[in-house]
Structure 1
Amino acid sequence: MMEHFEANAALGMEAVQLTAAAARGDIDAQRKLRDYALESMAEKVAANALAYAHGHAVEAMIWARLAASHGEEEDAIQLTAALAYLSEFWGMDGEGQEYGNFLLGEVVTILDGLASRGNEDAAISLNAVSEMLNPRISNMAKKIKETVDAGF
């Protein structure tokens, strides 16, 4: 039998253990990695190291999606935060900025779904976001919702 090769060793032992646990579906590890990526992104934005910040935003989205896949509403709200941050790097609410616009449409769709279930935090966030966005984002959210409602 071949010895285990640890491809993530450069990250340090704690990150190796968290990554392995997250890969096995451990929601607490997924949440920790999401939060770590969001914190690292914010630090890099503050330092104006935007390429690094973008990388952390992508990583945060991945871990946030995995955590949200367990079905907890708070994790879905955290996913919207990660998506909103990432949309800033990909052209937030701009004409022709399809990926950033799609991410914002997804944010609106998730918040709307949570708000319709009675989640007050989502309703407050949805109202705040809706006041700031171009109508094209609402149209994108409608398209996403139609796709979701149709069962993909």
Structure 2
Amino acid sequence: MSRSSSALSLGLPGDNDDIARRAEEDQRDRDAFDAVTRTSLNGRNTGLVLGIGLAVYLRREKTRLFEAMKIAERPIAVVLPNGKAEHLPDLAPFLKASKLRTVATYGVCGIGAAVLGGLVGSLVGMSGGWRQDHEARRRAARGLAKFWAKEARK
């Protein structure tokens, strides 16, 4: 039985202060982790909205480009300096908008921006949350190191 648990069972007055202090530190650490989590979620959601906005913008610009290429006259042959004419292939089928390309555009932009927003949100949340309390930062780093050591032993 550890000293802290024996102090709890016996009700010794000297050790209750230590237990109360540790409980207070634990609660502050939990509050800090909650703040970091909220900031990370806000960053991820902001990134997701920006990514979908970027996808809408790219889709609109791509549609405008396709429309401009439909209207424009396209050359069908190129005359080389030696006088020989080379016919150019018709690229129109490759320049059409498709549902698969649209889904890919929205998916890549949305997921990429959500990941980037989550990372930025996490970094901002962690830097702001741990900047004030160096002791909590040290405890969290020690706890994380113990966690990874325990996971590595499995």
Q: TM-score, structure 1 length as denominator?
A: 0.26
Q: TM-score, structure 2 length as denominator?
A: 0.26
Flag the structure with more relative contact order, 1 or 2, with Cα contacts below 8 A and sequence separation at least 6. 2
